[in-house]
């Protein structure tokens, strides 16, 4: 065996607790056999080397509380150990950005510029960094996603039961997601329901592209025009009203997602002729250059609020992330 290989020298027997209850066997094994190709894991299962309670099982088997999983010795590439002190892009630690945490769930205020997970040239995203910073958490999975340039509330499950419950709530439309966004142009209606089907494809460069198309997936966004933005902590209604009544070239909108399609808010606003300020994929590129000189260095889209029932206790939860200082400062330039 080469020096950079690692071989487990004994069989592992893992008792299933609530962190893996209901998880597929193949996904369970991939999480515990880092670096082992999926094809190799499938061979282990189909060859009977992996056993559940002493018997064979299919890769699609759903683990149950109390099951014993036999994991055989497997040769794999030695993992690269990254010190928890090594920081991601921009030198940002994520634990200080936690808005809410208990033993089942974390709600994070995700900084702009960080992908939620690694891949496609990104060595480490939010979930990988959180695992480094909180190694005591045995189970940690993203509940949903935000685009790399989008900031704001992001949920991470710390128990399998919480993940399953929150996914079910999302499918049933029981999680309220609200965003703040600044669009080019004067949005005409105080409240507007936009129901335009979205079609997703991958272009020649491997980039996701979404367009409005009749044969696309159902997508529903409720947009509410915001009359004023007051900074966090400013409780004076007259001062808040005096700050902004409207912007000459832009409109601040709250967007409520009734469905959760890829790039949904970005494509809905752009298709209607109101591209998001700073959006480098669906926006107005010449306008974006001007806005960059004015201080807007990224897309103006922020996940501001989540309302949901706690997946374990059932308690009604409301978690908010204030508008980041860079976006608030840019709004100030529009009033200058």
In the DSSP assignment, the letter for residue 260 is -
3-state secondary structure of 175: coil
For tokens 């790039």, the residue is 263
Distance CA 87, CA 94 (A): 9
Closest among 64, 66, 72, 55 to 25, alpha carbons compared:
64
Contact 157, 104 (CB under 8 A): yes
- In this structure, are residues 162 and 140 in contact, taking their beta carbons and an 8 Å threshold? no
Burial, 89: exposed, middle or buried (Cβ in 10 Å; 0-12, 13-18, 19+)? middle
Backbone angles phi, psi at 158, to 5 degrees: -110, 0
Output 258-261 pairs: Cβ under 8 A, ≥24 positions apart: 258/173, 258/220, 258/221, 258/222, 259/217, 259/218, 259/219, 259/220, 259/221, 260/144, 260/170, 260/177, 261/198, 261/200, 261/210, 261/217, 261/219
Instruction: Select from 244, 160, 2 the least CA-distant residue to 168.
Output: 160
Read off φ and ψ for residue 203, nearest 5 degrees: -80, 180
Contact predicate 8/78, CB 8 Å: no
Instruction: Point out the residues that are catalytic.
Output: 147
The rounded distance, in Å, linking the Cα atoms of 109 and 112 is 9
Name, in order, each residue with C-beta under 8 angstroms of 260's C-beta and a sequence gap of 6 or more.
144, 170, 177
DSSP helix/strand/coil, 166: helix
């Amino acid at each position: 065996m080469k020096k950079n290989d690692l071989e487990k020298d004994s069989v592992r027997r893992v008792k299933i607790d609530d962190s893996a209850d209901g998880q597929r066997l193949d996904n369970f094994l991939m999480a515990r056999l880092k670096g082992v190709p999926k094809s190799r894991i499938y061979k282990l299962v189909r060859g009977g080397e992996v056993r559940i309670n002493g018997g064979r099982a299919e890769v699609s088997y759903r683990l149950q509380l109390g099951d014993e999983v036999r994991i055989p010795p497997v040769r794999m590439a030695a993992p690269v150990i990254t010190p928890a002190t090594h920081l991601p892009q921009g030198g940002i630690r994520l634990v200080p950005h936690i808005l809410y945490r208990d033993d089942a769930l974390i709600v994070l205020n995700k900084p702009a510029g960080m992908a939620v997970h690694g891949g496609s040239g990104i060595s480490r995203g939010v979930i990988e960094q959180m695992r480094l910073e909180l190694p005591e958490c045995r189970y940690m999975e993203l509940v949903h996603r935000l685009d790399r340039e989008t900031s704001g509330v992001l949920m991470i499950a710390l128990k399998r039961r919480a993940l399953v419950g929150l996914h079910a709530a999302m499918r049933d439309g029981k999680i309220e997601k609200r965003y703040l966004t600044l669009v080019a142009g004067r949005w005409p209606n105080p409240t507007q329901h936009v129901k335009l089907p979205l079609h997703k494809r991958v272009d020649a460069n491997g980039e996701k592209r979404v367009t409005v198309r009749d044969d696309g997936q159902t997508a529903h966004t409720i947009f509410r025009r915001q009359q004023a933005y007051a900074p966090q902590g400013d409780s004076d209604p007259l001062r808040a009203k005096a700050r902004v009544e409207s912007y000459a070239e832009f409109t601040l909108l709250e967007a409520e997602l009734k469905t959760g399609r890829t790039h949904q808010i970005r494509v809905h606003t752009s298709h209607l002729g109101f591209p998001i300020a700073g959006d480098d994929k669906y926006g107005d590129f010449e306008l974006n250059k001007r806005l960059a000189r004015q201080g807007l260095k990224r897309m103006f889209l922020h996940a501001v609020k989540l309302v949901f029932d706690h997946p374990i206790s059932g308690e009604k939860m409301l978690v908010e992330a204030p508008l980041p200082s860079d976006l608030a400062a840019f709004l100030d330039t529009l009033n200058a």
